[in-house]
Structure 1
Amino acid sequence: MSSIEPTAISRHRTPDLITGYRLEKLVGTGGMGEVHKATQLSLGRTVAVKLLNPELAKDPSFIARFQKEAAALAALSHPHVVSIVDKGNTTTTYYLVMEFVDGPSLRELMRTPPQDSPVLLRRMLEICRAIEYAHGRGVIHRDLKPENILLDQQAGGIAKVSDFGLASFLDDANASSRYALTSTHVSMGTVSYMAPEQRVDAKSADARADIFSLGVILYEMFTGEVPLGTFDLPSRRRPGLDPRVDGIVTRCLKPDPADRYQTVTALITDLEPLVPGSLPSLAPLRLTRMQRFRHAMRRLVGATLRAAAVVVVLAALAVLGVAWLRAGERRPAVAPGAAIMADLGPPSPRTGTGRLETGAEKRKVVLGEGPDAPSVLVAGRPVAFEEKALVFPAVDGQSRVGRARLDVVGLEGDIAELTARVRADAPPPTFSRRARAMLYGPAPEPVAALMLVGSTGRYVALLHNGAGAPLALEWALGERRGTMLGLASPEGEARLELSLDADGVLQAYVGSGKDRRAIAEPLDLGPGWQEQFGGAPTPAFGCVEGTCRAEGLTYAVRRAPPLPVEAPVAVSPPPTRTVAVAVPTKAVVPPKRVATPPPPPKRQPIKQPPPKPPKRR
């Protein structure tokens, strides 16, 4: 709610001036008091508190006018009328607590650059419907002007009519006497927007006075000025405006009330065709005093019956809970894979983003990113595509199992690998889930399944049961059925993998890179393992209970490389004649070796001394 006067001077107010509310800041001032943004402490919501000026709070006529606005708002409940929350008084003043409208007034919007004609016409239609509703409940506003029309930005800029302080009541003698503020031949309102008869005698003005004010507002919205005396038609002041607007404005501004629209419903009938995409409105029924009394009694009786029904239902739930505890009733245990592969009704095709690779040696499908649009057949629970993930949101009701199978063909090969980042989370607690837990016991833990699915209910499923529970490998391949428990599930998201080699050895893994670990013992399906599935299997993702998510789901197959061919061995031609030699059966003992002594060492020849020379005689 914007300030009523942009130059309003904030006055200090203690935050706890009103019990149960905390005043935050002053957002506007007017002739009767101030409007503060406040917080309702019991609900923690933002509200608007309108305080009557303490000096005026001493005047009974202004107190009555303040009470009159509260009574008018209490009689109205419409999306284009500001709703009342509470009223009361303190030792110094009176207050009204109303819905807080976070947005500017129509007056402030008129000071900005002009908006498109369809937007202005739609906003005028919203204002007219609010006044049509008020007239149908016997309330005449009598002070319609741009300052009293607020635009709720949080609700898309819809218009809301406020300030019913000068309103009058039709066909209600008690209200008229209780809030008789207008004396005969007294003018009340804003002169520029008042009908001629209201300027002379506000007490005798009827619903047609509001129609005059609506015509002034409509003219000002398109031209930026109020029509005074002889005025130009709106289409002359605003090029391109539908000329039918001229006729509507002219008829609203007729000096004689008998020449104007007699009801706002008739005005709306002419205005609706000019608003693109508007729905025709139904005229509200005019309620008499007796009809309003009957409606109040019906509401009271209805509230009493609803309260009694709640008591009966709670009692029945308590009886059923005791009976279940005594009988020990439990839900039958069903293997998750079997539950996912059960008859979940006819599948419906969904198209998501992905990539298909159909090479000669390797074929691959990736779900979640890519230029292609692979089809997914969904059965049971609905499925959603969130960026790169396939998600089964939590649901209530009978269908707590979902299956999404990729509808792809041509993925045949001797080696297959299915991977995805999988997560399983319990659903948030709600009243209905708590009630079912009381009646039938705790709901099973959520299970997400990465699967290879064949024909006639044949499958292999790698099950993720949430944090702490063991991962499991479950299979049903004709007569071969079983389950192996493996490692504990990691907390949060887990990368799961199903791998089949050319010899038909199936292995399940968790993690990637250095952290990649086998979950359980390998499952040997043998060569030609496709026959175990009844043909080439297709990848699928399943969910039981809770919320299940698979991101980056990838399935790849390829042909095993052919065995290497050995080179031929060259064989020499056989001899022309072959002699067969009999081999004795008795082993021949080789002769013992006799140690021979080493030869004697050779003697060195003795050297003869040289001959002595003859003696000389």
Structure 2
Amino acid sequence: MSEDLTGRRLGHYRIDGVLGKGGMSVMYRATDIRLGRKVALKVIAEHLTEDPEFRERFVDEARNTSAIDHANVVPLYDFGEVDGLLYIAMRLVEGSDLASLIKGEPLAPQRAISLLSQVAEALDNLHERGLVHLDVKPANVLVTSRESATEHIYVADFGLTRRGATGHRTRGGDFLGSPTYAAPEHLRGEPVDGRTDAYSLACVLFACLSGRPPFQGQVPEVIQGHLNREPPALTEFVSLPPAIDDVIRRGMSKQPGQRYASCRELIAAARQALTAPPRPVAPPRPQQTFQQFPSPQQQAPAPRPVPQPSHASHASHAEPVRLRPPVPAGSTAFGKERSGNRWLAPVLVGLVAVGLIIGAIFFLSNPDDGQPPQQPESTGPSIPVGPGSGEPSGGSKPTSKKQLPSISVVAPPSS
């Protein structure tokens, strides 16, 4: 604009101040002095007034806006031209736009879905009339809480709205709109339809939930992102259910046929993804501790790959105890654990042998009548054996100084 119109009269409107500026127009706060009503007055930039194409677009905006009777579309009051300046008078929405609410910080998911569901209703109503908005972005979403108990949404700025698949670029081939939220087919100059707005709404959803648009940087970088790159995962920036990444990925598909069929369907899928329970996480395996010995009737637990604390120990860090299998009856168990008692077996065997020898000596020394043998003196003679009168042959009286249990046997003399 060559000058600020604040304080001037434009027809029956008194211009009170500037609400915002765009590339093609300036939005003023004004008063309709006939009705005493506050309005938002959109005035086309002076340097575009003489351009037939922009004049045509401005008139189309007025006609398209007035033809839409929807609760989430800013109502149009008046349209005209005064002193060579084209203007559109519409409802003054007391509040802010969605871009001001974000300010680099994400909105609560429930709030974002509540606001964007109203945007989806307005856009689908537009699409049912054969129109495409082509400039869906947070700055064109007005939010007010003065008209109802909850936040109410108005979709504004229908300056690029077109019917059918034509008019999304200037006659010179220049792109019109915001590339930050533009669909690939809009950037390439291809035919557009309602799915083009649905792509932009998916980008706005990303911005509401993360506090930033999906692609950032200089304009060429942003355009290349929309044309050639997959959208970043939303869960890389905020903690949300992973299913929302699938919704954003489908909503921002490069091919219109792979996107959601309507804006309502996109927001419904986002609502379901954000309210879905998180992926289940396997609970940690509890550490088993035993405070008493298991009963004999208790079935032994199945073997586990991870060593567990000993059933016979009360300490949580005790070493496991190995139970030795029972020893069969009648057998002697001498294992490696009893290697220090290896001498016991030979001693027992020797004692048994000595006992058997002593028993044999007593048995042989008993007489036939079964009388117990008399204990010989340690210095007595040896026992003579033979037919003689008891005298030893040869007149000799041999004596034996050996002590029992030694036995001396004398063979009988030859006849």
TM-score for both structures, normalised by structure 1:
0.40
Distance (whole Å) between structure 2 residues aligned to residue 143 and residue 99 of structure 1: 19
Residues 52 and 131 of structure 1: CA distance in aligned 2, closer, same or farther (over 3 Å): same
Match of 1:210 in 2: 197
1:243 matched to 2:242 = yes
1:25 matched to 2:17 = yes
Describe the superposition over 1:308-339 as per-residue Cα deviations: whole angstroms up to 9, x where unpaired. Answer: xxxxxxxxxxxxxxxxxxxxxxxxxxxxxxxx
Match of 2:34 in 1: 42
Give the match's secondary structure for 2:10.
Answer: coil
Is the CA contact 1:106–1:147 (under 8 Å) kept in the aligned structure 2?
yes
Number of residues of Structure 1 aligned to a counterpart in Structure 2? 260
1:197 matched to 2:185 = yes
Larger Rg: 2
Residues 132 and 124 of structure 1: CA distance in aligned 2, closer, same or farther (over 3 Å): same
Give the match's secondary structure for 1:31.
Answer: coil
Displacement after TM superposition at 1:12 (Å): 4.0
Is the CA contact 1:47–1:98 (under 8 Å) kept in the aligned structure 2?
yes
Displacement after TM superposition at 1:170 (Å): 3.3
Match of 2:374 in 1: none
Residues 27 and 51 of structure 1: CA distance in aligned 2, closer, same or farther (over 3 Å): same
Displacement after TM superposition at 1:77 (Å): 1.4
RMSD: 2.6
Distance (whole Å) between structure 2 residues aligned to residue 215 and residue 130 of structure 1: 15
Question: In the alignment, residue 246 of structure 2 is paired with which amino acid?
Answer: G
Residues 213 and 181 of structure 1: CA distance in aligned 2, closer, same or farther (over 3 Å): closer
1:151 matched to 2:150 = no
Distance (whole Å) between structure 2 residues aligned to residue 200 and residue 153 of structure 1: 38
Question: In the alignment, residue 243 of structure 1 is paired with which amino acid?
Answer: P
Distance (whole Å) between structure 2 residues aligned to residue 121 and residue 192 of structure 1: 21
Question: In the alignment, residue 159 of structure 2 is paired with which amino acid?
Answer: G
Corresponding residue to 1:187 among 166, 169, 175? 175
Is the CA contact 1:102–1:154 (under 8 Å) kept in the aligned structure 2?
yes
Displacement after TM superposition at 1:195 (Å): 1.0
Describe the superposition over 1:339-365 as per-residue Cα deviations: whole angstroms up to 9, x where unpaired. Answer: xxxxxxxxxxxxxxxxxxxxxxxxxxx
Distance (whole Å) between structure 2 residues aligned to residue 33 and residue 188 of structure 1: 13
Distance (whole Å) between structure 2 residues aligned to residue 53 and residue 184 of structure 1: 19
Displacement after TM superposition at 1:252 (Å): 0.8
Is the CA contact 2:7–2:17 (under 8 Å) kept in the aligned structure 1?
no
Distance (whole Å) between structure 2 residues aligned to residue 265 and residue 153 of structure 1: 23
Is the CA contact 1:64–1:181 (under 8 Å) kept in the aligned structure 2?
no
Displacement after TM superposition at 1:217 (Å): 0.7
Displacement after TM superposition at 1:262 (Å): 2.3
Which is strand-richer, 1 or 2? 1
Question: In the alignment, residue 87 of structure 1 is paired with which amino acid?
Answer: F
Displacement after TM superposition at 1:105 (Å): 1.3
Displacement after TM superposition at 1:140 (Å): 0.5
Displacement after TM superposition at 1:270 (Å): 2.2
Match of 1:11 in 2: 4
Distance (whole Å) between structure 2 residues aligned to residue 47 and residue 182 of structure 1: 30
Displacement after TM superposition at 1:242 (Å): 3.4
Question: In the alignment, residue 21 of structure 2 is paired with which amino acid?
Answer: T
Is the CA contact 1:142–1:189 (under 8 Å) kept in the aligned structure 2?
yes
Distance (whole Å) between structure 1 residues aligned to residue 163 and residue 175 of structure 2: 17
Residues 216 and 113 of structure 1: CA distance in aligned 2, closer, same or farther (over 3 Å): closer
Residues 59 and 186 of structure 1: CA distance in aligned 2, closer, same or farther (over 3 Å): closer
Residues 9 and 225 of structure 1: CA distance in aligned 2, closer, same or farther (over 3 Å): farther
Which is helix-richer, 1 or 2? 2
Deviates more, 1:253-262 or 1:243-252: 243-252
Distance (whole Å) between structure 1 residues aligned to residue 233 and residue 184 of structure 2: 20
Is the CA contact 1:125–1:271 (under 8 Å) kept in the aligned structure 2?
no
Question: In the alignment, residue 262 of structure 1 is paired with which amino acid?
Answer: A
Equivalent runs, 1:375-394 vs 2, <5 Å: none
Is the CA contact 1:121–1:274 (under 8 Å) kept in the aligned structure 2?
no
Question: In the alignment, residue 183 of structure 2 is paired with which amino acid?
Answer: A
Displacement after TM superposition at 1:263 (Å): 2.3
Displacement after TM superposition at 1:273 (Å): 4.2
Distance (whole Å) between structure 1 residues aligned to residue 2 and residue 241 of structure 2: 42
1:160 matched to 2:150 = no
Distance (whole Å) between structure 2 residues aligned to residue 207 and residue 67 of structure 1: 22
1:60 matched to 2:48 = no
Question: In the alignment, residue 249 of structure 1 is paired with which amino acid?
Answer: I
Q: Which runs of 5+ in 2 are unaligned?
A: 216-228, 276-415
Is the CA contact 1:140–1:169 (under 8 Å) kept in the aligned structure 2?
yes
Distance (whole Å) between structure 2 residues aligned to residue 206 and residue 222 of structure 1: 25
Question: In the alignment, residue 181 of structure 2 is paired with which amino acid?
Answer: Y
Describe the superposition over 1:278-336 as per-residue Cα deviations: whole angstroms up to 9, x where unpaired. Answer: xxxxxxxxxxxxxxxxxxxxxxxxxxxxxxxxxxxxxxxxxxxxxxxxxxxxxxxxxxx
Give the match's secondary structure for 1:227.
Answer: coil
Displacement after TM superposition at 1:186 (Å): 5.3
Match of 2:232 in 1: 232
Distance (whole Å) between structure 1 residues aligned to residue 3 and residue 20 of structure 2: 9
Describe the superposition over 1:37-77 as per-residue Cα deviations: whole angstroms up to 9, x where unpaired. Answer: 11122322211001111221111111111111111101211
Question: In the alignment, residue 267 of structure 1 is paired with which amino acid?
Answer: L
Is the CA contact 1:184–1:201 (under 8 Å) kept in the aligned structure 2?
no
Displacement after TM superposition at 1:233 (Å): 1.9
Distance (whole Å) between structure 2 residues aligned to residue 264 and residue 66 of structure 1: 26
Match of 1:254 in 2: 253
